[in-house]
Amino acid sequence: MSPRDAIVERSTKETTVRVELRLDGSGSASADTGLPFFDHMLEQLGTHAGFDLTVTAKGDLDVDGHHTVEDVGLALGEALAEALGDKRGIRRFASITVPLDEAAVEVALDLSGRPFVVHDVEVQAETIGTYDSGLTEDFVRALAAAAQMTLHVRLVRGRSPHHVVEAEFKALARALGDACSSTGRGGTPSTKGTL
């Protein structure tokens, strides 16, 4: 498969976001959103998926982090959909459970063209640095909607919000990396002939 990459820019009155994505990368990732913990999570996402990922965002953080986190999710989802193109030759499905100390999070996804999210992660609300742990669900919902994927996320166990959120991003990364990878067969992975 030829290099699969995308650049997406998204501007609203609340945020300006730029995402550069290469699916067949080396796991080189950087993020600058004004929310250091979120930057760390986006870097985990790129690194553990094996994507080259650069995210820059400027948002109305004086209000809160919601618009920035959600709009980064939308832009990243758009970039993912663009980089996947017609999805010929991809694995399409993936699932994994990722542990981080006492926490474990399970992610199962399908790059189906049908956006649907089940997010079964109840964690004590906490601000991690300047990041509201509750924004993680908003991020994954925006990502799945824009990428048009079916996504199930389930907390197996966990106590620390930091560990739970980080395990979720790492599990999402590993599942995305697997689902986007090539089977070497070249055809569309659907009996319908299209995704």
CATH of the domain at 145: 3.30.230.40
Q: Is residue 39 part of a domain?
A: yes
pLDDT in tens, 107-156: 999 999 999 999 999 988 899 999 999 999 999 999 999 999 999 999 99
pLDDT in tens, 99-118: 999 999 999 999 999 999 99
Predicted local confidence at residue 186, as pLDDT: 74
Q: Is residue 53 part of a domain?
A: yes
Q: Is the pLDDT confidence value at 55 over 50?
A: yes
Beta bridge partners, 108, equal: 95, 152
Q: Where are the alpha helices (DSSP H) in the chain?
A: 36-49, 66-84, 135-147, 161-180
Chain position carrying tokens 């964690």 = 123
Within a 13 Å sphere around the CA of 85, how many CA atoms are in the beta-carbon half? 14
Predicted local confidence at residue 2, as pLDDT: 58
Q: Is residue 189 part of a domain?
A: no
Q: Is residue 194 part of a domain?
A: no
Q: Is residue 193 part of a domain?
A: no
